[in-house]
Amino acid sequence: MAARFELRFNGAAVQRELRAAAARGLLLAAEHVLTEAQEVVPLDEGYLQSTGTASVDEGTLTAAVSFDGPYAVRQHEELDWRHAPGRQAKYLEQPLNANRGPVQRIIAAQVRRALQ
């Protein structure tokens, strides 16, 4: 006994849905990194911490986590500056590197959901 079936799909719609899922995953992953970075960002008055943002360029599927302020880059790069306990330079780089696995799993989960 043999069974026959025909599978049809709209390739353009599938591609749109997968890109949207990837963009959602990227934003969730960027927000995760931002949350981790806000735990270690140098803190004096809280201004720098309040400027943290996560964003996604859906056209290029690129995520960004950033802090804005006149001293954000210096605070990140100056390894000799003293910080309050638990706060540090490299407040973006370290959380990103430490969370590579979770970031990948967050993105993959969104793509998997789109495929269901």
Condensed to tens digits (0 to 9), the pLDDT of residues 26-79 reads 999 999 999 999 999 998 888 999 999 999 999 999 999 999 988 899 999 999
The C-alpha atoms of residue 107 and residue 101 are separated, in whole angstroms, by 10
In which band, very low, low, confident or very high, does the pLDDT at 4 lie, cut at 50, 70 and 90? confident
For the chain, the C-alpha Rg in angstroms (whole number) is: 20
C-alpha to C-alpha distance for 78 and 50, rounded to whole angstroms? 20
Question: In sequence order, what E strands does the chain have?
Answer: 53-57, 62-66
Mean pLDDT computed over 78-106:
96
Mean pLDDT of the chain: 92
Q: What is the identity of the amino acid at 29?
A: A
